[in-house]
Amino acid sequence: MSDSGNPPVLAVDGGGTRCRVAFDDGRQRHVVETGPANVSTDFEAAVAQVMAGLAELSKRLGQPVGDLVRHPAYLGLAGITGPEIADRLRAALPFARLRIEDDRPAAVRGALSVADGVIAHCGTGSFYAGQHGGAIQLAGGWGSVLGDEASAQWIARKALGLTLEAVDGRRALSALAQAFLDEMGGAAGIVRFAGQARPDAFGALAPQVTRAAEAGDALAVCVMQQGADEIARALPHVGWRPGLRLCLTGGIGPHFAPFLPETMSAGLAAPEAEPMAGALSLARQLAGEFADERG
């Protein structure tokens, strides 16, 4: 049985690091986590992660997958770049009533609920968003090859690039640079890693950079400042103005707070909730729209 005001819904929040699949019937919420799900990076793997999440939910709830997918479902997945790939995903999944978007609207709804504000979401990838009077402005999110500035993978790429500059003698060899050289087998190892690593593998190095920056490592501080400068450059394009609420979200986002201009840092606020909560909120909104259509 579900709460009459909260019909059962499904929600998926997937990105370059993990995919989370949730069921909520107004009385209980179940969330399972699987692996990376970026449909542009690896479409088949993303579909497999969603299906794995559904299978795990089915076990937990004691309901067949075929019954679960009859409920309204909202999917927010990284790599949804337009209607063509959304339609391809729709055809590959068994949901009966489904809305597919990229992962940005769920992050905005989770962080800001329905309030005005802006977010810089910096996980494996990155994007910037502003919400003003219910309307959302978006920027960034163009992927690791052409964008994703200030993301975890971007931070790691920058740090490795500066490490190679140190090898050349173009900058001082910091403790972080030496650590990367030791761990990867010198400059040749760094180049080899960079030539084959996926965004999530780069992103896994970002915590070393943030920890080093907190310890005052000059190379790490340089990288974090560059990332914060990218955030400061992007946010006015999604409606930021002095005094407006700003949320730094994603695994790497909060680490940029000390490096932002004072006019921005003055408006920093904790996000209301995580992207999965936003995805479930959008799923409930979708369920309401379906109910209105039937009425």
- Residue 256: CATH number of its domain: 3.30.420.40
The yes-or-no verdict on residue 1 having pLDDT over 80 is no
My answer on whether 130 and 260 are in the same domain is yes
Asked if residue 2 belongs to a domain, the reply is no
Average model confidence (pLDDT) for the chain?
Answer: 92
- For residue 2, the model assigns a pLDDT of 46
Distance CA 98, CA 103 (A): 15
- For residue 124, the model assigns a pLDDT of 86
- For residue 291, the model assigns a pLDDT of 66
pTM of the predicted model, to two decimals? 0.82
What's the pLDDT band for 200 if we cut at 50, 70, 90?
Answer: confident
> Mean pLDDT, to the nearest integer, of 33-56?
93
- For residue 293, the model assigns a pLDDT of 66
- For residue 13, the model assigns a pLDDT of 93
End-to-end CA distance of the chain: 21
Q: Please state, for a pLDDT cut of 90, what percent of the chain lies above it.
A: 78
My answer on whether 29 and 13 are in the same domain is yes
My answer on whether 74 and 28 are in the same domain is yes
Q: pLDDT: is 247 or 102 the higher one? A: 247
Distance CA 121, CA 140 (A): 10
Asked if residue 1 belongs to a domain, the reply is no
Q: Over the stretch 140-158, which tens digit does the pLDDT of each residue have?
A: 888 778 889 999 999 999 9
251 closest CA partner among 216, 197, 210: 210
What is the extent of the structural domain holding 238? 115-270
Q: Over the stretch 178-189, which tens digit does the pLDDT of each residue have?
A: 999 999 999 999
DSSP string, 191-257: HHHHHH--HHHHHTTHHHHHHHHHTT-HHHHHHHHHHHHHHHHHGGGGT--TTS-EEEETTTGGGGG
The yes-or-no verdict on residue 220 having pLDDT over 70 is yes
What's the pLDDT band for 54 if we cut at 50, 70, 90?
Answer: very high
My answer on whether 101 and 122 are in the same domain is no
The H-or-E segment that residue 132 falls in is strand 126-132
- For residue 292, the model assigns a pLDDT of 63
In the chain, how many domains are there?
Answer: 2
The yes-or-no verdict on residue 97 having pLDDT over 70 is yes
